[in-house]
Structure 1
């Protein structure tokens, strides 16, 4: 038992510069707050590339698909971008799928995509279907970091097969987080399935008929601003206190909101 605990700690610490410290990263950043904002900025640029259709990600709706999204989003930050986590994780006492079951659960997600005819769905059918897919993907949480952003892009790719699209900006952060938590099974050991119905209301708000007028997307706007600004990498200055966060080209508030969604 002691050896098992030791091995678990080793796997967990392998992701960190030092035990209890910041995630290892390609940017050589050792401050978690600084890494958080740098990751958001770089990831936003990569997501903009996906949103503009500049990246070839095969729509296979399986592990390869999810890994390809994650790899592209976080390729500038982590060596393990596109690789499933090797450690177990939880959020506020709610456990995600154990690491050894990630392949099995990713197959579950894919099955819930492929067993539906998305092209003929009514709006109500789409809301229920996409909520089911997302709830299983969110519970799987296959990566050490970046799960929320990856799941969002994956859901958008699923929506491409339907008469609808998703506008995530239509739902407030607190409402989104509460619905996501409510969809978790109370005890993953007793009941391994999430409750997609807890997400129906938020996905109903986000569902828009394809072809209708697009609303402004603050995340995409932030990414485009970064591309056209003088931003030339990460800010290597020491992070300031929580009450004095730097305005790194306007991304700080959006990064905070995304961190909550990625929980």
Structure 2
């Protein structure tokens, strides 16, 4: 299924290629702008602003909360009918320690508020929280992709694994563009999403 897009692309592979190219360029531009400073770090408004900036040239839904239910593999993300309440709850979660920040990140992953591009946006959002509160960020080149996916799948039940993986990848290189972009590159390792009608969930 090819998402409706502003580029008029109807081929999945071509869309994926263009999405990666454009969103990576926008992510690099975002590193040098002050567009996110108007939103509190760790707020949903900031996450939505990140998503909008990365994908506004590709999708009409950029920065907007999804209106469809989605799943990845066997994991179904927060149903649309509960999504608004979930985002409000996540917004109010504390974020002053490493554990609190990762717990907030895990909950946002479960919510998966956007139709596409959640991983890329959330990694930037996560690093902004870590940067502000701990003066650290994640160097994703030190996080095994398969271990990460398994840990994230299990994280809603037990978040010990994901905390361990990310804590071991922390770096003080908070202003390094190369480290920053590794989080964007990392997001292009994924399985496809499956759409579900509301009545099927």
TM-score, normalised on structure 2? Answer: 0.83
Counterpart among 139, 147, 169 of residue 141 in structure 2: 169
Q: Is the 8 A contact 1:183 1:199 kept in 2?
A: yes
| Aligned: 1:134 with 2:76 | no
Task: Give TM-score, length-normalised by structure 1.
Answer: 0.65
Distance 1:71 1:166, change over 3 A: same
Moved over 3 A (4+): 213-220
Q: Which residue of 1 aligns with 2:59?
A: 78
Which residue of structure 1 aligns with residue 188 of structure 2? Answer: 258
SS of the residue corresponding to residue 260 of structure 1 reads: coil
Runs (5+) with no aligned partner, structure 1: 1-20, 119-124, 186-194, 224-253
The equivalent of 2:16 in structure 1 is 36
8 Å CA contact 1:170–1:206 kept in 2: the answer is yes
Residue 190 of structure 2 aligns to a residue whose secondary structure is helix
SS of residue matched to 1:143 = coil
Aligned residue pairs total: 189
Q: Which of 56, 59, 62 is the aligned partner of 2:35?
A: 56
Distance in 1, matches of 2:17 and 2:123, equals: 19
Q: Report matched runs for 1:222-237 at 5 Å.
A: none
Rate the CA distance shift 1:171–1:132 in 2: closer, same or farther, 3 A: same
CA contact (8 A) 1:49 1:55 kept: no
1: CA distance, partners of 2:16 / 2:120: 13
- Aligned-CA RMSD value: 2.6
**Residue aligned with 1:85, SS:** coil
Name the CA shift for 1:156/1:261 in 2 (closer, same or farther; >3 Å).
farther
Deviations along 1:100-148, one digit per CA (max 9) or x if unpaired, are 2222111222222xx34x3xxxxxx42x222211110100000110010
Residues 159 and 165, structure 1, Cα contact 8 Å, conserved in 2: yes
Distance 1:215 1:201 in 2: 24
**Partners in 1 of 2:48 and 2:177 — Cα distance?**
29
Q: Note if contact 1:131-1:197 (Cα within 8 Å) is conserved in structure 2.
A: no
Counterpart CA distance in 2 for 1:26 and 1:184 is 34
CA contact (8 A) 1:166 1:206 kept: yes
C-alpha separation between the residues in 2 aligned to 1:67 and 1:262?
A: 22
One of 155, 179, 196 as aligned partner of 2:159: 196
Q: For residue 72 of structure 1, report the CA deviation from its aligned partner.
A: 0.4
